[in-house]
Each structure stands twice: as C-alpha cells, then as structure tokens.
Amino acid sequence: MIQLESILAATDFSPDARQAVERAAVLGSTLAIQRGVLLHVLEQSLLDSLKRFMRSPAKVKREIIDDASRSLAELAEEVRRISGFPLEPHVRAGNTLDAIVEASSDFDLLVLGARGKHPVRALALGTTSQRLLGKAGRPVLVVKNKPVGPYQRVLVAVDFSEDSRKALEYSQIIAPQAIIFLVHVFEPLMEKTLVYGGASESIIAESRMKARIEAEAKLTRFIQEVGVEARHLVRIVVHGHAPSKLPEIARKRGAELIIVGKHGKWRIEEFLLGSVTLHVLSQSQCDVLVVE
C-alpha cells in the first residue's frame, strides 16, 4: 500500500530549489505528513580543495558549514511561517548526488527544483536532477513553479504498465481533491507499416479507429482495477506520439502537475529513464512527479 508520511526537500539555495522547498511544505501541511526534512549538501570536492588553497582549511571549512547551517535554518523558518509545516534543517558534506540518494532512502518522497545554481552546466533538467531521477529509489517530485496552494489539476500518464498504475494511485494521495486528467496516448503498431506500404487513407483510418476503441476499453478496465473515484477523472484517449502529446495536453488543460512512471511498458526503448519520462521532464511547463 502506498504511503506518504515523510518528505525530503533538497536545496542548493537557488530560486528553483526555493520553490521546491515551498511545495514540500505545502504538501506537508495539506496532507498531514508526519516528518519533513530540508537537506543541503556541501560538495566534498570543494571542501577538499580548501586544503590546497587555505592556510587554515579546518577553520574555513567550519565557517562554511556554520554559514550553510544558519542559511538553511533561516529558510526552514521562513517556509514554516508561510505554510505552518516544520522542515528539519540538515547539512551534509559529501558527493551531492550520493548524499541526496542516500538520505532519500529514509523518506517516502524526494522533492527538488528543476534547475540548480548552474543552468549552463545543467542541460535539460540539470545534471544532478536528471541523475537523481535515475538513481533514486523513491518517487521524485521535480518542481518548476512557485506553489499557490494544493494541486487542483493533475495529468496522469497511462500506458497500462505497473508504473502507470502507481501513478494513478499517487494522484489520489498527493492531490485528493484535484481533477485528474487520465491520459492514454495510443500509436497503432501497424500504422507505420500501413503508411510505408502505401495503404489507403480509409484503411489507415479504420486501423486507427480500432486501436482507439481498444485503448478506451483498456482504460476503462484499468480504472476499475485500480479502483479510483470516477467522479474526479477526465478520461482522454488520443492518437499520437506520447512524449510530445503529454506536455501539449497538460498545457491545454492547465495541469499543475504531471505524474508519470519512471519506466514505461516498452522497456526496450528505454535507457536509464523511459524516453517518455525524459521528454515530459524536459518539455513540460508544470511540476512532474516521477514514480516507480
């Protein structure tokens, strides 16, 4: 059974990370989460470099840790005053990626900003963020916008895999009052073969219609098997290429959050993260929750 009782927000004090911290606090407050931690990692390689360039590296290291601890405590207090949810400030030294992954293993949800302090180095979602999504064994919420309250409009991507089943279940936990846009994008396996084979438009249209009917039936069964409240669901079945269609539908529907599985049904097309997941992360304008 899926539970959401603890939350870890990682920050590097960038504006995007601040939004992630605020979103974590909003979730903590509205969902009555029992424990929240605010984590900042001091990169060990930078601390080690002090030994070569400073006369008193131990003293300077201590000052850096103290400054980070004060800044983190101030941030936690600011967010607590706004949201009413307390986040425990924790400072660690180590490899940023490894430290966050290790810390997140004790929490039900990891929350981080889409980009850090170095956007030039951070292509797509940023080196650390993207690698974290590949290594973390917990759901990861990537925050792109400043929160204004609980999520009200959520898109759940469905390909009928076990991960998409979990995505729908998470939507009921993380946004219990939201309108859920349950989206399945179908692309008939034989359509390209028909096109390349010179089939007529009527044959292609017939093939596509059969695929749509089948997809709609599978979506109905999927909803029944997961057992969610139908009154909160808006079913959307569209033809096209899922990586590009999902962000497009999210924009048109005003979704504030997309929930997608880390790995889809067709694992042969995937490397590290599913191709659909990576595209949604890079192209969407709203927050993205990646589950597995």
Instruction: Write b or e for each residue in 231-243: b if 16 or more Cβ atoms lie within 10 A of its Cβ, otherwise e.
Output: ebbebbbbeeebb
What is the reported pLDDT for 54?
A: 62
Angle at 262 between CA 259 and CA 268, to 5 degrees: 135
Q: Which residues of the chain have pLDDT under 70?
A: 1, 46-58, 116-131, 188-205, 229-231, 264-275
pLDDT given for residue 265 in this prediction = 52
What is the C-alpha separation between 165 and 263, in angstroms, rounded? 12
- The phi, psi pair for 36, rounded to 5°, reads -135, 140
Residue-level pLDDT at 227: 83
Tokens coding 259: 């929930």
Residue for token digits 């005053």? 81
What the chain holds in terms of domains, given with CATH numbers, is 6-143 (3.40.50.620), 153-291 (3.40.50.620)
Total-model pTM: 0.87
The whole-number pLDDT of residue 119 equals 40
Q: What is the pLDDT of residues 142-201, one digit of tens each?
A: 999 999 999 999 999 999 989 999 999 999 999 999 999 999 998 766 555 555 555 556
pLDDT per residue over 90-114, tens digit each?
Answer: 999 888 888 999 999 999 999 999 8
DSSP string, 181-244: EEEEEE--TTHHHHHHTT--HHHHHHHHHHHHHHHHHHHHHHHHHHT--GGGEEEEEEES-HHH
Question: Is 104:71 a contact under the CB 8 Å cutoff?
Answer: no
Q: For position 208, what pLDDT does the model report?
A: 75
